[in-house]
Every structure is written in structure tokens, then in C-alpha cells.
Chain A
Amino acid sequence: MGVEIKVGMADLKVCVSPDSITTLGLGSCVGIALRDPVTKIGGLAHIMLPDSTSIRNNSNIPKFADTGIEELVKQVTKKGANRNRLVAKIAGGAQMFAFGSNSEAVRVGERNVQAVKKKLGEMKIPILAEDTGKNFGRTVIFYPETGDFVIRAVGKSEYKI
């Protein structure tokens, strides 16, 4: 067994089999796992906001769907993953509260998911599986060895996508 690498909020890291990579308690944020199935090199990003271009203070690359995914692709390929073989699995983007300060803030989970799909689409990285939306938090663990994306949620048994 390898070690478990931890990714925080607005953070991203690369992971090579047999290590695994995790991010705890995803709410409206989205976790994006990338993997090259041949070299078994992968990575995980934990983004908070959909779009870096709509915010002036946007130097924090892993905070945004667009810049975060670009950076993750850059880092996994630098580690030896083949850009054309990359596949993705995504999770998160929940709506944690029914009401909120404004509808835009409440729907940020959904907007994050849309932005992630758009960016992956533009970069021609296929999404093999997703567990997004709904109203609960998720802890995710990604295994580049098998490509399994294991999800833990409160009051549910662990499942994988």
C-alpha cells in the first residue's frame, strides 16, 4: 500500500500508483481526478469557484475550475502522464443549504460542476464517471492504480464510481 496524499480546499496535487489521493468534506466545491490509465499517474484538484476571469483577484490558480484544471493537466503530464490518454472522474458540487444570501451563491455548486464539465470538454478529457449535485457533503479518495474514485458521505455506506 502506498501513502494517502491529502489535498485541501483550493489545492491540487499529483499522485502516482500505488499512492492514493484524497480530499475531505467536499461541499459545493468540486473534486476533479485525472488519470493516465497506462502509466497510472493521476492527480486531484479541489476547486471552489467556476471562473477565474470573472474575478479580479484571481492569482490563486487551484481555486478556480478553469485555471485549476489546466494546472492539474500540466502537473500530471510533467510527472509523466500522457496528455492524450487522460481521463477524468468528478464529484461534489452539492447544494448544502436550501436558502442563502442570494440565489447565485446557493447555486454555486451547480455552476462549479458546469464549469468543470465545460473545461474538461474543451480540453477533450473524457469524464468516465461523476457523483455531483444533491445536498450532501462527500469525502473522495482516488486510486490511480485502478482508477477507482471512492466516495464517503454521512449516513451512507462507502461507494465507488
Chain B
Amino acid sequence: MSELTIDDMSNEYFDVLKELGNIGAGNATTALAQMMQCKVDMSVPRVQLLEFKELGDAMVGEETVMAGIYLAIEGDITGSIMFLLEKQAAKHLVGKLTGMESEGEEFSEMEYSALKEVGNIMTGAYLNSLSSITNLVISPTVPDLTVDMAGAILSVPAIEFAALGDRMLLIQTQFFDEMVLDGYFILIPDMDSYGRMLRALGIGL
């Protein structure tokens, strides 16, 4: 098998990844609604394959403060996944979950762990759907959370993509309850795992 790289990925594969992202984000939205015990709507995810230089413009801007949850995945598919949420949206979600008005600009310790749990559940739901579609074992590991500039958080998955090619796959999803919550999923399978995922879906490489 020749090595597949993101840069020369055909439209067919790209469409498949897009659809996987779509289903994953849908599942994550359902999980979010259950957790919040309210209706949460989701826009059709925007899937983009971007050059690193374009990353900042494609998102909210490199200096926007965001919460990023990042974890490694193990099993038949190895790699990592990241979920990003704008800081205000994160504050809003956590406030609803804990039933407390958030004070100040910083996250308290309790808000921090609630936010980690949100990320855990969203990424878990995303990976679950991926696992059931492909029939592959995908196990998440313990997540870590950081609140910082979007560009700085994104540098972590971008560097992982950079070792493989010159572009990065970004899935943007908007969630709505009473406000718009802009969320981003970034799935970073190792190169071998791309092949395994596509083959599991009956797509030959």
C-alpha cells in the first residue's frame, strides 16, 4: 500500500472523513443536550482542509481565548482528538451545568473540572460514533484542558499534522441553545489509522 498523505487525499476520501465528522459532531450534540437537559441544535458542520498559514483566518482569530480539551486515542485507531470552545461559550455551558453564575474572567477550579467533563463527554460521544460506524476499537485516554489563545492551543494538533503533511482537517460545528456556541473538533489519526478507518468502511486504498 502506498502511503496516504492528507495533501494528496482524493475527494472521495475527503467526503468520507467529512461525513464521519458530521456524524461524530451530531452524536456529541446529542450528548451535550442530555447533559444540559435542554434542546441543543447543531448546524451542518463545516469541514475544511487548511494550510497552516490559513488557520488563524479560518477560525475566530489566533488571539481569541478558547478552552481546548485534548486527549490521546488508543486501540485500532491511534492518534488524538481536540475539542475547542470559545471562552464565553464555555463559561455559559459551565454556568448552566453547575447552576451557578460565573464570576470574573477566570475559571474557578470547579468550573475547570466541569468544563473538562463537558469535553470528555463530547469527545467520547464523537469517538463512540466513529467506533460504531467503523467497527473499530477506539479508546479515549484521560483528557487535559487548557484555556489560552486559539493559535497557541491549535499549534498542538497543527504540529501533529505538520509531521504528516502541509494541511490540517478542521471540523467546525455551531451549537445553539439560547446562544450560539461555536465549537471545533479536530481529529488527528495517525497516518496508518486513516487507512484502517477507510478500509473498515469498505473503501479500498
**Chain B CB within 10 A, most for which of A29, A55, A98:** A29
How long is the Cα–Cα vector from A26 to B63 in the complex, in angstroms? 10
B133 at interface (Cβ–Cβ under 8 A)? no
- Which residues of A are interface residues toward B (Cβ below 8 A)? 8-11, 24-29, 48-49, 55, 57, 60, 63, 94, 96-102, 105, 108, 135-139, 152-155
* A27 pairs with B156, CB closer than 8 A: yes
Give CA–CA (A27, B174) in the complex, Å: 25
A29 to B55, CA, bound (A): 14
**B144 pairs with A57, CB closer than 8 A:** no
Q: Which residue of A is nearest B150, CB measured?
A: A25
The secondary-structure label for the interface of chain B is: mixed
Known interface pairs A25-B62, A139-B149. Does A10 touch B144 (Cβ–Cβ under 8 Å)? no
Residues of B within 8 A of A100 (CB): 70, 72, 80, 144, 156
Q: Which residue on chain B has the smallest CB distance to residue A24?
A: B62
Q: How large is the interface on B (under 10, 10 to 19, 20 to 34, 35 or more residues)?
A: 35 or more
The 3 closest A-B pairs by CB, nearest first: A25-B151, A137-B152, A27-B155
Shortest Cβ distance from residue B155 to the other chain A in the assembled complex, whole angstroms: 3
- How close is B188's CB to chain A, nearest CB, in angstroms? 8
A52 to B201, CA, bound (A): 34
Q: Give the shortest distance, in Å, between A150 (CB) and chain B (any CB).
A: 14
- Measured between C-beta atoms, what is the minimum distance from B123 to chain A in Å? 13
B34 to chain A: closest CB distance in Å? 26
User: In whole angstroms, what is the CA distance A26 to B158 when docked?
Assistant: 12
Contact with B53, one of A10, A29, A98, A137 (Cβ below 8 angstroms): A10
Known: A8-B54, A10-B53. A55 touches B163 (CB 8 A): yes
Whether A57 pairs with B165 at a CB distance below 8 angstroms is yes
Contact B53 A26 (CB under 8 A): no
User: Contact between A63 and B62 (Cβ–Cβ < 8 Å)?
Assistant: no
Chain A residues near B166: list those with CB within 8 A: 10, 57, 60, 63
Q: List 19 A-B contacts (CB under 8 A).
A: A8-B53, A8-B54, A8-B55, A9-B56, A25-B149, A25-B155, A26-B155, A27-B155, A28-B156, A29-B159, A96-B156, A99-B72, A99-B142, A101-B78, A101-B188, A137-B151, A138-B152, A139-B151, A155-B106
Q: Does B153 contact A (CB under 8 A)?
A: yes
Q: Which residue of B lies closest to A10 (CB)?
A: B52
Other than A9-B53, A101-B73, A152-B63, give 6 A-B pairs with Cβ distance below 8 A.
Answer: A8-B56, A96-B148, A99-B141, A99-B143, A102-B72, A137-B149
B41 touches A (CB below 8 Å): no
- Nearest CB of chain A from residue B161's CB, rounded to whole Å: 9
A138 CB contacts on chain B under 8 angstroms: 152
List chain A residues, Cβ under 8 A from B68. Answer: 96-97
From B62, B152, B165, A94 is in contact (CB under 8 Å) with B152
- What residues of B have a CB within 8 angstroms of the CB of A152 in the complex? 63
Q: What does the 1/0 interface line of B163-188 toward A look like (CB < 8 Å)?
A: 11110000000000000000000001
How many whole Å from B105's CB to the nearest CB in chain A?
8
Most buried by A among B52, B68, B105: B52
Of A11, A25, A29, A154, most B-chain CB atoms within 10 Å = A25
Question: A28 and B5 in contact (CB under 8 A), knowing A96-B148, A101-B80, A137-B148?
Answer: no
Q: Are B163 and A27 in contact (CB under 8 A)?
A: no
Say yes or no: A27 contacts B72, CB within 8 Å: no
